[in-house]
Structure 1
Amino acid sequence: MIAAKAPNNNTLIRWLTYLMFMMFAMTSDSVGEIIKEVKREFDVTNTEASLMHSLFMIGIAFSGLFLGFLADKFGRKNTIILGLSLFALSCYFFLVGDSFSFILGLITLSGIAVGVFKTAALALIGDISHSTKEHTGIMNGAEAFFGFGAIIGPLLVAWLVREGVDWKLLYVIAGGLCTLLIVLAWKADYPAHSLGGTPKEPINMTRSLKLLGNPYAMGFSVGAFLYVAAESAIYVWMPSYLVCDAKDVAATFSCYTSGPDKWLAMYAVSVFFSLRAVGRFVGIWMMQRLNWSLVLALFSLAIMLCFIAGLVGGKSVALYTFPLTGIFMSVIYPTFNSKGISCFPKHEHGTVAGVILFFTAAGAAAGPFIMGVVSDAYGGDAKYGFIVATVFTALLFVGLLYNYLYNPTEKRLAEIETSEYGQNAV
């Protein structure tokens, strides 16, 4: 069990966790804007440019599955500091990066680092929660701050490019924030953590692999894969889908006749992330009062309809419906994470968080990469990639509709509520 800590200390830990999410979102969710610059600077194809996103996510997936147990074995604080240190190091090396292959190497290292400290942070949320409902609320709060970082990052990249400053400065700024978080994490008093392992069941990579056969871990993991594959389609490829001429900077948004349309096309990713961030703060309230499975089923339906409308109606319709998906996507991933992790005892939260993170990152890596390959196969038109993404949204809706109708986790969550939190509400 986790030793109880004073409420004010838990508040400090919660805010540090929120800031960690915001910091790395500044880089990870700026990738759509960065890809446009990388394609021009290094003259690479859609498939090659998508490696900026895919390799980052592969790094997260690798560390989530194979290193997720570190948070359970060595404690949340030590693992968080290790991951943040690796991330800061990779960011600072962007100062000397001048080749596409070197940058891809740094991107991969930063992904591994994120996987290490994020699994520990996700496990830490369980340590400071007093019920599964509070766990879901804090998770939505963490993802809301992630949303803030996702707004700040693309805006900062756009401003840097407009001012003629190298986009790599974004990573240097993120490295500085990360260094500050390392100091704060080192000074903070984290909750005491019990290992929970036994000689018969040691805490290691093998236990992570065993969870691949657990229906609760796999159900939420597959859901996370489908959701993130659809979500990353928006922030990775929407900028490419909405541009009028990808090769001519002056004609990038020339096909939009009105001023508001041009503005929205330029800042569509930021609008998407803004709606997602607002929705996550609303989600903190929603998930305390409403049936989470019904909310997710209805919101996944809305996402699918927005994707279909953006494809059928073309750029002029997608300009509005694609960013609008942010409000519906807002609560899905943090709820997947929370409910999936909450199906397990607290001493296993780091390991199961790593497994879900593996599938999260796999979806974020595979989805945009497949979209890039399909788009290149049809002359580089991003529309064909979004057809693939729409299939992801349809599968997600089917799965969440099943979850609402049959509620397969109700009994398990009730058991964990009683054994881990000493309460009855789920």
Structure 2
Amino acid sequence: MNNQRILLSLFAIYLVFAILLNSVGTVILQVINSYGVSKSAASVLEGFKDIPIGIVSFLVASQLPRFGFKRAMLTGLGIVTAACLCMPLLPGFWTAKLLFLCVGVSFALVKVAVYSSIGLLAGDRKEHAGMVNTLEGVFMVGVLGGYWLFSAFIDSADPTSTAWLNVYWVLAGICALAFVLLWTTEMDESGTRVDGDSPLQEFFAMLRLVAKPLVCIYVISAFVYVLIEQGIGTWLPTFNNEILKLPAAMSVQATSIFAAGLAVGRLGAGAIMRRMHWYPVLNSCLLAMAALVVLTLPLADNVQANPEINWLNAPVAAFILPLIGLFMAPIYPAINSVMLSSLPKHQHSAMTGLLVIFSALGGTTGSLITGSVFEAYDGQFAFYLSLVPIGMILLSLYFFRRAVERDGGADFTGVAASAPH
């Protein structure tokens, strides 16, 4: 089994889904302009993506070792390739809903398979943490590239134009290339399931994981984190357009700063985590996030529209606020690696399924709350509200650390293991 080729395939798959999953904010802005959809109606696109992720993960995560991780990833790539082709061929708001429905179903299969495959490749916990951080860093590179890819097809001079739909021809081609790369890559999936267990036994084994205090606190932490990330990331293009008065294409491009911060933070987090305990690092990041929100949002007050706006005279808030991604970056990979490296390999699929379920619920909740507040009040107030979940995750991480120190010293099959750091 060629580990480097498998990692390349996993990175390529995650890159594809990074662009598609995080295009929600851009597509929300475009369907509002192109199809005359209201903000509250457009916000359901997040739900069309995240709810299927949660449902499919709940139903199939425990069964993926039986189905096969490679087969699951190929299935997901095939579905999204077809969905991308539908966007320019059958333009309409309903097609956008269909796209994100397909993306959600596919990502549920892909994320569980990708995370579980890392467990097959990593030799120890440090290597596991490094791979997870690199994978999530590649994901954010895809997000960053996606913003610029979409902005290249947006016609700022004509907000109602549907020329942006042509980006999906390119995305369909990228999906097809990732499919071929994985299809031609050999994977050894032995050791991923317990022999003799029935599908029903495997499903209930996944549910029993939630009863563990460590797992319960972990999924709450993941839920709150994704609520923050999606609430900000999904609505930042609209914030840039309506509050900071940037043109549509520039609004999307400015959001790439947020993705760049996440990418740099996650790619660099592996080196930091090898030298420092994860808990003080994450607490420092959360406090920096809160400080950035409090100090930056006043700079967005009363911004006047400027027909000659460019990168040299854009409001300073357009450059500073997205830097919250830099401090947000290490949180998600760190808690995931701490949790997964505490478990035997045959439980990685079920645990990743729980992670995907609660991450999906958090993403939908964050987008809907931010979109509703954005419409009822304004974008500044909606972003100020991010201070509430930041405080919540500070509290949840305190209990997560205590649970790791208490319960993380043994895996859930009773075999002794050292606590991860």
Q: TM-score, normalised by structure 2?
A: 0.87
Question: Which structure 2 residues correspond to residues 127-276 of structure 1 after superposition, within 5 A?
Answer: 127-162=120-155, 166-194=163-191, 195-199=193-197, 202=200, 204-244=202-242, 252-253=245-246, 267-276=253-262
What is the Cα deviation at residue 385 of structure 1?
2.1
Amino acid at match of 1:374: V
Please name the residue that 1:259 is paired with. none
Partner of 1:395: 392
Deviations 1:153-181 (CA, angstroms, capped at 9, x unpaired)? 11111110148772223333222222222
- What per-residue deviation string (whole Å, max 9, x for no partner) do you get for residues 214-242 of structure 1? 32322221111111111112221122223
How far has the Cα of 1:204 moved from its partner? 4.3
**Superposed displacement of residue 243, structure 1:** 2.8
Instruction: For residue 44 of structure 1, give the secondary structure of its aligned residue in structure 2.
Output: coil
Q: 1:102 maps to which residue?
A: 95
Q: Which runs of at least 4 in structure 1 moved beyond 6 Å after TM superposition?
A: 417-425
State the one-letter code of the partner of 2:269. G
- CA-CA distance at 1:403 after TM superposition: 4.0
- Contact 1:58/1:111 (CA < 8 Å) preserved in 2? yes
- Equivalent of residue 410 in structure 1, options 381, 405, 409: 405
1:71 and 2:64 are equivalent in the alignment: yes
SS at match of 2:363: helix
Q: CA deviation at 1:273?
A: 0.8
Partners of 2:162 and 2:223 in 1: CA distance: 35
Retained in 2: the 8 A contact 1:145–1:277? Answer: yes
1:303 counterpart letter in structure 2: M
Whole-angstrom distance in 2 between the partners of 1:318 and 1:58? 32
* Cα distance between partner residues in 1 of 2:116 and 2:350: 8
Match of 2:6 in 1: 13
Check whether the contact 1:72–1:349 (CA below 8 A) recurs between aligned residues: no
The aligned counterpart of 1:337 is 336
Residues 310 and 319, structure 1, Cα contact 8 Å, conserved in 2: no
Q: Which residue of 2 aligns with 1:88?
A: 81
Q: Secondary structure at the match of 1:160?
A: coil
Contact 2:258 2:324 in 1 (8 A): yes
Q: Say which of 254, 258, 267 aligns to 1:281.
A: 267
- 2:16 equivalent in structure 1: 23
Judged with a 3 Å threshold, the aligned counterparts in structure 2 of structure 1 residues 176 and 70 are, in CA distance, closer, same or farther, namely: farther
Is residue 38 from structure 1 mapped to residue 36 from structure 2 by the alignment? no
Q: 1:167 aligns to what SS in structure 2?
A: helix
Q: In structure 2, how many angstroms separate the alpha carbons of the residues matched to 1:270 and 1:184? A: 27
Offset of residue 337 of structure 1:
1.9
Letter in 2 for 1:10: N
What's the counterpart of residue 376 of structure 1? 375
Q: Which runs of 5+ in 1 are unaligned?
A: 247-251, 255-261
SS of equivalent to 1:69 = helix
- Structure 1 residue 126 displacement after superposition: 0.8
RMSD: 2.8
CA contact (8 A) 1:143 1:280 kept: yes
Distance change >3 Å, CA 297–CA 53, structure 1 → 2: same
* Contact persistence 1:272–1:324 (CA under 8 A): yes
1:190 counterpart SS class: coil
CA–CA separation in structure 1 for the residues paired with 2:56 and 2:249: 39
Deviations 1:56-87 (A, max 9, x none): 11121222222212322222212222222222
Question: Displacement, 1:253?
Answer: 2.8
Aligned position for 1:301: 287
- Rate the CA distance shift 1:166–1:391 in 2: closer, same or farther, 3 A: same
Equivalent pair of 2:409/2:416 in contact (CA under 8 Å): no
- Inter-partner Cα distance in structure 2 for 1:393 and 1:423: 30
Q: Aligned partner of 2:336: which letter?
A: N
> Which structure 2 segments of 5+ residues have no match?
302-314
- Give the TM-score normalised by structure 1: 0.86
Instruction: Return the match for 2:40 from 44, 47, 50.
Output: 47
CA distance in structure 2 between the aligned counterparts of 1:153 and 1:305, rounded to whole angstroms: 28
